[in-house]
């Protein structure tokens, strides 16, 4: 069943954390709430979980209105950033805890807990206390505990932020695999754009308690509607432009060719990987004479910084193959890109 958030407003005193927010979470999807600190993503998750009460709006699971349903009766699994494991219980007992609260028989809850430990590849850690396990192992136990009661919805509140980069990358893949295996509708709060791009079926970008844009990761990356979304998801060059006498995009001293009208926009977006560099005109629809100001070698990639000669107050970032010949600072090069690479942003 789809989860629908309808016209939801949540205030803390004079601060509006969520403002008349409406959203559909498709059944069986993994949806990421993405945005900077203070944008309302955790508040929205807690309202859905029933841990916070909204002043206005509804939370609907299918046809059921859960707005006034206590958290314990919503049958949602929740995993917090801090794991929240019971320090005096073994991994097995931690996973069994929710089942015991629901009145499952001893044999049934042990079998289910062992099944969940197998799922997260920690059957051999069943007898250990949380303090005897690594952070990644503790988070796997927290996920197993959340899944054990067969919840209708899984809620993850920045579950990977406390882990180191390698463990975080491993768990991204594991969580996504588990979610797809069970087909469980999952909501994950994150401020990490890479996490959202890699894991999500749907990304909800939040800003100041409102939805800025919703879409599939590829759609949001390729077609951001606002400067905020373009700048928040992936690296991008933001070009300050104006409309010239012909109504076309003027970037410093040069006119740029775009697809479609400007519609009053004053910013164009250009992804670094859309730019190619050459010594001579390459036949692209747009070609800017530039000076190389810096280069950074990153292994499989190298980043090149350019200053357009016709717009010296702005810089362009370019991503190149790490094995390609590295430009040198001071080189004069042409930055080439097609018209359809320029995104009109509001």
Full-model pTM: 0.89
- Contact at 8 Å (CB) between 241 and 321? no
Q: Are residues 253 and 188 in the same domain?
A: no
Residues 184 and 109 in one domain: yes
φ/ψ of 96, rounded to 5, equals -75, -20
The reply to whether 47 and 17 lie within a common domain is yes
Domain of residue 326, residue span: 235-345
Do 11 and 69 form a contact (C-beta atoms < 8 A)?
no
3-state helix, strand, coil in the chain (%, to 5): 30, 35, 40
Separation between Cα atoms, residue 164 and residue 190, nearest integer Å: 15
Which of residues 193, 228, 263 is at a domain's end? 228
Total domains, the chain: 2
**Angstrom distances, CA of residue 213 to CA of 55, 171, 207, 230, 341:** 23, 27, 9, 10, 20
Q: Contact 277/304 with Cβ under 8 angstroms?
A: yes
Do residue 53 and residue 132 come from a single domain?
A: yes
Q: What is the pLDDT of residue 316?
A: 97
Q: What is the DSSP string of 123-147?
A: GGGTT--GGGS-HHHHHHHHHHHHH
299: left (phi over 0), alpha (psi -120 to 50) or beta: left
Q: Cβ(193)–Cβ(34) under 8 Å? A: yes
Q: Residue 149 sits in a domain of what CATH number?
A: 3.40.50.300
Asked whether residue 187 falls in the same domain as residue 257, the answer is no
> What pLDDT does 166 receive?
84
305, 326 Cβ separation under 8 angstroms: no
**How far apart (Å, rounded) are the C-alpha atoms in residues 323 and 285?**
26
* pLDDT for res 242: 94
Residues 222 and 258 in one domain: no
List C-alpha distances in Å: 189 to 39, 222, 249, 274: 11, 22, 37, 30
Look at strands 185-190 and 153-157 and give their pairing: parallel
Last residue of a domain, one of 228, 244, 271: 228
> What pLDDT, on the 0 to 100 scale, is given for residue 14?
94
The answer on 250 and 145 residing in a single domain is no
* 219 and 283 belong to one structural domain: no
Identify any residues that bridge with 296 across adjacent strands, giving them in sequence order.
303
CA distance linking residue 311 with residue 253, whole number of Å: 6
pLDDT in tens, the chain (346 residues): 899 999 999 999 999 999 999 999 999 999 999 999 999 999 999 999 999 999 999 999 999 999 999 998 999 999 988 878 999 999 999 999 989 988 999 999 999 999 999 999 999 999 999 999 998 999 999 999 999 999 999 999 998 887 888 888 888 999 999 999 999 999 999 999 999 999 999 999 999 999 999 999 999 999 999 999 999 998 999 999 999 988 899 999 999 999 989 989 999 999 999 999 999 888 889 999 999 999 999 888 999 999 999 999 999 999 998 778 889 999 999 999 999 999 999 8
pLDDT at 282: 81
Longest Cα–Cα distance of the chain, Å, equals: 79
Q: Tell me, yes or no, whether 79 and 56 share the same domain.
A: yes
- Written as six digits, the tokens of 307 are 């200053």
The residue from 160, 194, 228 where one domain ends is 228
């Amino acid at each position: 069943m789809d989860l629908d958030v309808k016209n939801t407003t949540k205030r803390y005193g004079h601060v509006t954390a969520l403002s008349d927010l409406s959203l559909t979470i498709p059944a069986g999807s993994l949806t990421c709430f993405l945005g900077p600190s203070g944008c309302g993503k955790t508040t929205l998750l807690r309202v859905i979980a029933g841990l916070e009460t909204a002043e206005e709006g509804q939370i609907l699971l299918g046809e059921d209105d859960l707005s006034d349903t206590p958290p314990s009766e919503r049958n949602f699994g929740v995993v917090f950033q801090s794991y929240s494991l019971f320090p005096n219980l073994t991994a097995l007992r931690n996973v069994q805890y929710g089942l015991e609260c629901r009145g499952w028989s001893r044999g049934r809850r042990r079998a289910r807990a062992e099944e969940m430990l197998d799922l997260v590849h920690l059957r051999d850690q069943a007898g250990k206390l949380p303090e005897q396990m690594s952070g990644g192992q503790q988070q796997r136990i927290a996920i197993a505990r959340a899944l054990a009661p067969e919840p209708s919805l899984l809620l993850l509140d920045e579950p990977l932020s406390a882990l180191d980069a390698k463990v975080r990358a491993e768990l991204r893949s594991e969580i996504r695999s588990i979610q797809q295996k069970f087909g469980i509708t999952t909501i994950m709060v994150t401020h990490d754009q890479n996490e959202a791009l890699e894991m999500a079926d749907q990304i909800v970008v939040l800003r100041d308690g409102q939805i800025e844009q919703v879409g599939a990761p590829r759609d949001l990356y390729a077609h951001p509607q606002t400067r905020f979304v373009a700048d928040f998801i992936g690296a991008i060059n933001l070009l300050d432009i104006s409309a010239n006498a012909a109504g076309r995009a003027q970037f410093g001293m040069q006119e740029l060719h775009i697809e479609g009208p400007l519609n009053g926009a004053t910013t164009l977006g250009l992804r670094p990987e859309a730019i190619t560099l050459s010594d001579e005109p390459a036949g692209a629809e747009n070609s800017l004479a530039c000076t190389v100001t810096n280069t950074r070698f990153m292994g499989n990639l190298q980043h090149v910084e350019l200053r357009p000669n016709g717009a010296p107050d702005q810089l362009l970032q370019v991503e190149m193959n790490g094995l390609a010949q590295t430009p040198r600072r001071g080189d004069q090069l042409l930055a080439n890109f097609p018209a359809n690479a320029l995104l009109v942003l509001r």
